[in-house]
């Protein structure tokens, strides 16, 4: 069995490999993966900084869609 990098969501590899459009669930999983990466990189000293959750989610969904269809 071929194993891909752990930093890339498996859904991204599968969609690009098979040349198919992502399902809604795949897009949400990849968006969650991206959100986790972004939030994990938040500084511990940025406590007072509020992140607009809706705009943050929208950006993550756009990034997930671009990744899943192989767009740059």
| Cα distance between residue 54 and residue 31, in whole Å | 13
Q: What is the mean pLDDT of the chain?
A: 79
More confident of the two residues 6 and 32? 32
| Cα distance between residue 14 and residue 60, in whole Å | 19
Number of neighbours of residue 31 by Cβ within 10 angstroms: 22
Chain segment 5-26, per-residue pLDDT in tens: 457 888 998 998 899 999 999 9
Predicted structure pTM score: 0.70
pLDDT of residue 6: 58
pLDDT band, very low/low/confident/very high, at 1 (cuts 50, 70, 90): very low
How far the first Cα of the chain sits from its last, in Å, is 28
């Amino acid at each position: 069995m071929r194993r891909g990098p752990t930093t890339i969501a498996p859904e991204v590899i599968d969609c690009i490999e098979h040349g198919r459009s992502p399902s809604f669930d795949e897009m949400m999983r990849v968006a969650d993966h991206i959100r986790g990466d972004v939030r994990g990189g938040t500084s511990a000293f940025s406590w007072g900084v509020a992140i607009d959750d809706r705009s943050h989610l929208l950006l993550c969904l756009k990034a997930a869609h671009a990744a899943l269809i192989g767009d740059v």
